Structure 1
Amino acid sequence: MYKRILVPLDGSPLGDRELPYVRLLGRKMEAKVELYRVFDPQPEFFFPDEFQLDERRQAEEHYREEVMTGLGQAKIRLEEAGVSAQAVIHGPDVPPLEAPNPGGGTDKHTYSAPAEHIVQEADREDDTLIVMCTHGRSGLGRWIMGSVADRVVRHSAGPVLVLRGG
């Protein structure tokens, strides 16, 4: 049916809610699972002016390590359940890395908004199912924040399974 399950994670506790479904689907379909994170470095305005360039780099490196740790833990949980999994991070000037050991993946050095990046990644291989969680925002919060899941559903050429998060 599907050879690949792409699982975009954003680091929030809601992101782990799709893992039981991914575990089940991965086993049933014998599909490879790709845990996927768009690395979003902290914007310049996040840092006070007194932060020096080295301190900013250290803060971003720490953030990146936290992202990799989270992906690595999710990967291990899937593999312990007998599901073949790969964890990949993509972002600006950050080559994709396979968690927990850096170095795997394809070096793209590209960045776009998360939804667009997810759709592009899914389109890279045929027979890809996207499984993701929505934050469950509604009303004004959804209008202001938008919904990555909505944008993925609207722009994806392939199937998307969206699980309600909150």
Structure 2
Amino acid sequence: MYDRVLVPTDGSECADHAIDHALDIAAQYDAELRVLSVIDSRDVSHSAPAISPNQIEKTLRERAESVVEAVAERAEEAGVRVVTAVEAGIPDDVVVEYAEDSDCDLIVMGTHGRTGLERYLLGSVTERTVRRSSVPVLTVRGVNGEKGN
């Protein structure tokens, strides 16, 4: 049923909880785990004037690469085939496009569990991905319903 499972991660506890689920699913179905971290291009373009956008992107890319490599190590320890990627762009756009381009069968994403006005004002990468994806999306709330950062 699942040959390629995509798990986007930003290194948060919420994403980490989703990774647990994605690893379990990938192991059960002998599927390849695709680990994606997205450098939000809006974070780079809205940087402080004293810091060059190139330096900010470099720092964010190094952090993202570290995050996906940590997940890759967990996958390898669990005997799950893994492919990592770091992309730049608008997170939900990148996740949806990556899933389609990589022929992923499932996206597993954490959700911060925001409600009401907070969700309306902040929006949600997960929510936008669910609405736009042609691939099924499994959403995983943070441990004990945590709201994350």
1:82 equivalenced with 2:83 (yes/no): no
Q: Partner of 2:40: helix, strand, or coil? A: coil
Q: Which residue of 2 aligns with 1:159?
A: 136
- Alignment match of 2:64 (pick from 67, 73, 76): 67
**Structure 2 CA distance for aligned equivalents of residues 159 and 59 of structure 1:** 33
Q: Which residue of 1 aligns with 2:98?
A: 121
1:97-112 equivalent positions in 2, closer than 5 A? 111=89
**Structure 1 CA distance for aligned equivalents of residues 136 and 40 of structure 2:** 25
Q: Which residue of 2 aligns with 1:5?
A: 5
**Structure 2 CA distance for aligned equivalents of residues 62 and 77 of structure 1:** 23
Letter in 1 for 2:75: L
Any unmatched runs of 5+ in structure 1? 92-110
Q: Which residue of 1 aligns with 2:15?
A: 15
What number of residue pairs does the alignment pair up? 142
Task: State the percentage of identical aligned residues.
Answer: 35
Letter in 1 for 2:47: F
Deviation at 1:44, TM superposition (A): 4.4
What is the CA RMSD across the aligned residues, in angstroms? Answer: 1.8
Q: Of the two structures, which has the highest relative contact order with CA contacts closer than 8 Å and spacing of 6 or more?
A: 2
**Structure 1 CA distance for aligned equivalents of residues 45 and 137 of structure 2:** 34
- Alignment match of 2:116 (pick from 139, 148, 152): 139
- Of Structure 1 and Structure 2, which has the larger fraction of its residues in helix? 2
Query: Contact conserved, 2:33 with 2:81, CA < 8 A, in 1?
Result: yes
| Larger Cα-atom Rg | 1
Q: Which residue of 1 aligns with 2:40?
A: 40
Distance 1:146 1:52, change over 3 A: closer
TM-score, scaled to structure 2? 0.85
Q: Partner of 1:6: helix, strand, or coil? A: strand
**Structure 1 CA distance for aligned equivalents of residues 46 and 95 of structure 2:** 26
Distance 1:72 1:136, change over 3 A: same
**Structure 1 CA distance for aligned equivalents of residues 60 and 104 of structure 2:** 32
Deviation at 1:13, TM superposition (A): 2.1
1:148 equivalenced with 2:125 (yes/no): yes
